[in-house]
Amino acid sequence: MEKAQLTNRQLLPLQKLLLVILKRKYIIIGVFCTTLALVATATFTTTPVYRASAKILVKPEKLSESMIFFRLNSPLKLNPQTWLNSEIDLLQTRPVAEKTVLTFGLQKSNVKNAELTAKEKNIRLNIAVERFQKNLLLESGQNSNVIKISYEHSDPELAAAVVNGLIEQYLKYRSEIYDETDNVKFYEEQLKIVGDKLRQLEDNEAIYKSDESIISAEEYAAVLLAKLTDYEKNLTQVSMTLIGKKAKLKIIQEQLKKGSDINIPSTEVSDSPSREKHIATLKSRLLSMEIDRDQLLQRFKPGYVKVMELETNIAATKTIIRNEIEEIIEQEGASIRALQAEKQSLEKMIAVLNREVQAFVKKDFHIKQLNRGIEDNRELYSILLKQREDARLSSAKLNSGVNLKVINPAVPPHKPVRPQKGLNLILAATLGLLGGLGLAFVFDYLDPSVHTDSELKQATGMTVLGSVKDFPRQGVGG
């Protein structure tokens, strides 16, 4: 019995829902049909918009040989991280957009140009350029060298023509920016600079060899350089030791000045290891006495005899430790002064050796410099000659380090991107159905009339004894 009542209670909301739908079916159907009709009308009367797309491949060139040499006044090198974004920025520039708009007459309207002033024409052109840039879509994959160019317009033929025209204007604009004649002039200027420098070096070499007597001193120079290397090595060791001792002495002095517990840092082999061990023993003894004193103070007063003895011993131990540390400071100071004197002596000897080496090998060094400069400039001159000829013959240089290729030109699209008729109708049907159901339940909620026994019982609180079915009226003959 209870299960049957529970099942009836569960069925009541569903029955009520179906009853409301049947009772308000005309409202649901009306809202559904109205919504679907409005959306369908708007969808089929809206001017379709077509999107034409093209793809271009952007590939960086290898650096030319001349860019390897640091002595060249080379142009700006291409940044591998930003070259693709640079091409996208060029596609979005106003000159490219403006030429494309003027080429296809996208700024034209129903008003004749003869009736417009120059200012109004300029304003109309600016609006057309901004609208064109807004309808232009540029995309590039994260790990791709391909740029996708898309444009939307109501005319599919015009949309495809505009995309292809944009690419053409973009390539022309790039050619104007990266004109090859600038590279040719650059190489010619560098050739003149390098040629003058090469002739000057050759003249200097000839004059120097004729005026100076060249004596080879390679073996003696090697001996001097070996001595210089040894002195510099010793100077480095002395300097490192000096730095460590100064740091150690500074730490000890600061701790001693603050009166804090002194810890002697170990930066290298100490000059007084026995003192440091003795200080460590004294610190251990001091710590033990302080612990004993604290334990006695927990049971006795400070005037207790053993406490006073420990205080005296603690003070004496601290004095001894301080005296030992002062002795260490004095020893470290003397060691630092000795190291400084040794460092100054080494620096003087190194300076003397440097002067001897420079004076002895000056002529030989000068000749080697001249020969090296002549060889480098001859090689550089040959490379510049080759690069100048390449710049004249190669059209790829117009890309300023980037090769461009249209891999997918734009063609007139067959299907519009807006409106999407199928999707709009599905959304309209869904929205109309949901709206009709919602409106039906609102009407039912606001309706005060009673239609079922359960509604009458819920409204009056009385039990329904019976009900009479509403029969349709019939004629007399029926």
DSSP structure string for 154-177: S-HHHHHHHHHHHHHHHHHHHHHH
Residue of 289, 57, 251, 53 lying closest to 160 (CA atoms): 53
Number of separate domains in the chain: 3
- Looking at the fold, whether 235 and 301 belong to one and the same domain comes out as yes
Kindly state whether residue 125 falls inside one of the protein's structural domains: yes
Kindly state whether residue 346 falls inside one of the protein's structural domains: yes
- Looking at the fold, whether 80 and 12 belong to one and the same domain comes out as no
Helix, strand, or coil (residue 93):
coil
Alpha helices in 259-304 (DSSP H): 273-297
- Looking at the fold, whether 161 and 137 belong to one and the same domain comes out as yes
- Residue 23, domain extent: 2-46+419-443
- Looking at the fold, whether 267 and 347 belong to one and the same domain comes out as yes
- Looking at the fold, whether 260 and 343 belong to one and the same domain comes out as yes
- Looking at the fold, whether 258 and 334 belong to one and the same domain comes out as yes
- Looking at the fold, whether 123 and 92 belong to one and the same domain comes out as yes
Kindly state whether residue 185 falls inside one of the protein's structural domains: no
- Looking at the fold, whether 24 and 133 belong to one and the same domain comes out as no
Kindly state whether residue 391 falls inside one of the protein's structural domains: no
- Looking at the fold, whether 29 and 135 belong to one and the same domain comes out as no
- The one-letter amino acid at 138: L
- Looking at the fold, whether 337 and 302 belong to one and the same domain comes out as yes
Residue of 199, 56, 248 lying closest to 141 (CA atoms): 56
Angstrom CA distances, 212 to 206, 215, 306, 316, 359, stand at 10, 9, 93, 79, 14
Residue carrying structure tokens 């006795």? 300
Residue carrying structure tokens 């334990």? 295
- Looking at the fold, whether 91 and 25 belong to one and the same domain comes out as no
Question: Can you give the pLDDT of all 478 residues of the chain as single tens digits?
Answer: 444 444 444 445 677 777 777 777 888 888 889 988 998 888 888 888 888 999 888 876 655 554 444 444 444 455 544 677 888 888 888 888 889 888 888 877 655 555 678 888 888 888 888 888 888 888 887 777 888 899 888 888 988 999 999 889 888 888 777 766 767 778 788 888 888 888 888 787 777 766 655 555 466 667 778 888 888 888 888 888 888 877 777 777 776 676 655 555 554 445 556 666 777 787 788 788 878 888 888 888 877 788 788 888 888 887 887 777 777 777 777 888 888 888 888 888 888 878 877 766 676 677 777 778 888 888 888 888 887 777 666 544 555 566 788 888 989 988 888 888 788 889 988 998 888 888 878 877 776 666 666 666 666 667 766 666 665 655 544 4
The CATH number of whichever domain residue 138 belongs to comes to: 3.30.70.1130
Kindly state whether residue 386 falls inside one of the protein's structural domains: no
- Looking at the fold, whether 55 and 137 belong to one and the same domain comes out as yes
- What is the separation of C-alpha 411 from the centre of its chain, rounded to a whole number of angstroms? 37
